[in-house]
Amino acid sequence: MGDINSNGNIGESIADTDNIHSDTIPVGDEHKEQEEPSETEASKDSPMGMYCGCGSTKENDANDNDSYKKSIQKTGQSQLQQPSSNDRMDSDEDSHNQWSKKSKTSRKMASDDEDDNNSQRRSGPLTRSSATLSKLRINFDNSDDENEDSRHYSYSKRDIAEYRNHYPNARSNPKIHDNYDFYTNQIRSHPDGDFIDKIHKNWFGDHRKLEYHHGYIQWLFPLQERGLNISAEPLQKHEIESISKDEKALERLLKSYKLMLDFYGFKLVDENTGEIRRLSGDSYKSRFRNLDTSSHNYLRITRILKCLGEFKYEYLKFPFLEAILRESITENKLSNCLRSCKDYWIETLRSPDERRAIRLYARELVEYRNKGITPPKAHKANRPRPTSAAGAEKTENMSSSKDDDDDPME
């Protein structure tokens, strides 16, 4: 359940197509018109010159025999000087290879310039952006709670309401404890899975397996709803209580989150606040490209965020959303994630104050972008709740009771 229609949203245009510009000003390959081949000494002395009347004089006509002998000698020399067809092909190939090298060099320089421009834009002061991004036509209104304009509003409204209310209609079966057994490293995940500790050790960084294996996500992040993996049982209410009391099991859940963050191109830099950043160097680039083009991962992210909220990790959601919005709107690296972030991921926040705060942050970023201005590096979302794990459990209970009173979606 959850974000089942993210695939349909990806093709939906959120940019002003009348003013489309790339993330950075592209530097094209240098193209020069080919120079006309210069006239060689051989061509000047070729027999064609005589036949066309080029270079003939009355003095030459006066002595036909001498002219004939000289022409024979020069013709032989010109044939020796003119390249053969194979030589010309080799020369053309060498010329093409030289042009290809210059073209690759030009493209590399353009790519380096683009990275430099991106780096300068991220770290520079509040100035007009040198590279104009397309204007966004997406609204992060607080009315989303009561007047969602998504085509899948009816389903998402019911789904998110059940989640925020902790699945009031879900029945807990005390005989089912697969999720607890898995997170206490007693059983393997199925199909084609492993014990949780071995997954954390052996699957970390194995991006190909994490991308194409579709049976592990329901085990790593269980929910109180049936998923697509029939071998994974829904999370039981008594399992939530048991796992929450088991510090080792909770640590494993946090490791699962770190595993998927790395897969998506991020790393957790502060376990207390939940702050995440890009992977160091250029290693984040391939992961961002994969995330921006593999929409089935949007379903996974919805599940991950929901699962974190079932335990003591609700506080991890806000920093994750903040990073996604920054990379999607300001950096334009994860633009395809923006619709799912708006329609589903933000909605997993149980606190209405947090939802309003992150939407305000998104509106600010959109306004900066549409004005062609790069936000200050210090510009962050104003979080309305304690930003540490210590205060998360207390405020989560407070937000749940507040949801019952003033959240129109419930």
pLDDT band at 53 (very low <50, low <70, confident <90, very high): very low
Distance CA 325, CA 330 (A): 8
Distance CA 246, CA 319 (A): 25
151, two tokens: 């085509």
Asked if the model's pLDDT at residue 389 lies above 80, the reply is no
pLDDT band at 399 (very low <50, low <70, confident <90, very high): very low
**What percent of the chain shows pLDDT beyond 70?**
59
pLDDT recorded at residue 90: 44
Q: Give the pLDDT confidence of 343-363 residue by residue, as tens digits.
A: 999 999 999 999 999 999 999
Q: Give the pLDDT confidence of 74-127 residue by residue, as tens digits.
A: 444 444 344 444 444 444 444 444 444 444 444 444 444 444 444 444 444 444
Residue with more model confidence, 35 or 155:
155
5, two tokens: 């229609």
The amino acid that residue 201 corresponds to is K
pLDDT band at 146 (very low <50, low <70, confident <90, very high): low
28, two tokens: 């094209």
Distance CA 335, CA 291 (A): 10
**Contact between 197 and 185 (Cβ < 8 Å):** yes
Residue written as tokens 């304690």?
Answer: 386
pLDDT recorded at residue 156: 79
Lowest-pLDDT range, 69-78, 294-303, 400-409?
Answer: 400-409
Q: Give the pLDDT confidence of 186-236 residue by residue, as tens digits.
A: 999 999 999 999 999 999 999 999 999 999 999 999 999 999 999 999 999
- Annotate 137-176 with DSSP letters as a single string: -----GGGGT---STTHHHHHHHHHHHHTT-TTPPP-TT-
**Contact between 333 and 324 (Cβ < 8 Å):** no
Distance CA 196, CA 222 (A): 13
Asked if the model's pLDDT at residue 2 lies above 80, the reply is no
Distance CA 134, CA 21 (A): 6
Q: What is the CA radius of gyration of the chain?
A: 33
pLDDT recorded at residue 142: 83
Beta-bridge mates of residue 276: 268
pLDDT recorded at residue 131: 52
Lowest-pLDDT range, 12-21, 136-145, 242-251?
Answer: 12-21
Asked if the model's pLDDT at residue 400 lies above 90, the reply is no
Count the Cβ atoms, other than its own, within 10 Å of residue 17. 9
309, two tokens: 């909220």
pLDDT band at 385 (very low <50, low <70, confident <90, very high): low
Average pLDDT, the chain: 75
Q: Give the pLDDT confidence of 269-304 residue by residue, as tens digits.
A: 999 999 999 999 999 999 999 999 999 999 999 999
pLDDT recorded at residue 141: 87
